[in-house]
Amino acid sequence: MGRLFRVRVDLELLRRHLAKEDQRDVSIDEVRKFLRDSAFKEQGDWWIVREEDLGAIESTEVLEADVLGDPPSDTKTMRDERVANRGKS
């Protein structure tokens, strides 16, 4: 499994790209569904995604990105991992 990333996606640009591919108008709700179906997990204005799933969108559609690190190896959530590691370094 690859690293986890937090990305901010240009939803409008992605909407235009998807509309061009589908040759029809695409709503922002459909864009969000596309991202969820592509293994992106919405978190406010950001999306959490594994490195290997980033290829679902073009690099031009990414406004910002942060590496969150390696995915948890057990059933803990990403938030649990961050809280457990807070203050360590």
Which DSSP state fits 73?
Answer: S
Number of folded domains that form the chain = 1
pLDDT in tens, 16-71: 999 988 788 899 999 999 999 999 999 999 999 999 999 999 999 999 999 987 76
- Contact present, 36 and 42 (Cβ < 8 Å): yes
- Domain membership of residue 68 as a residue range: 4-85
- Alpha-carbon gap, residue 50 to 31, rounded angstroms: 18
User: With b meaning 16 or more CB within 10 Å and e meaning fewer, what string describes 14-36?
Assistant: bbebbeeeeeeebeeeebbebbe
pTM flag (> 0.85): no
Nearest by Cα to 1 from 47, 51, 48, 67: 51
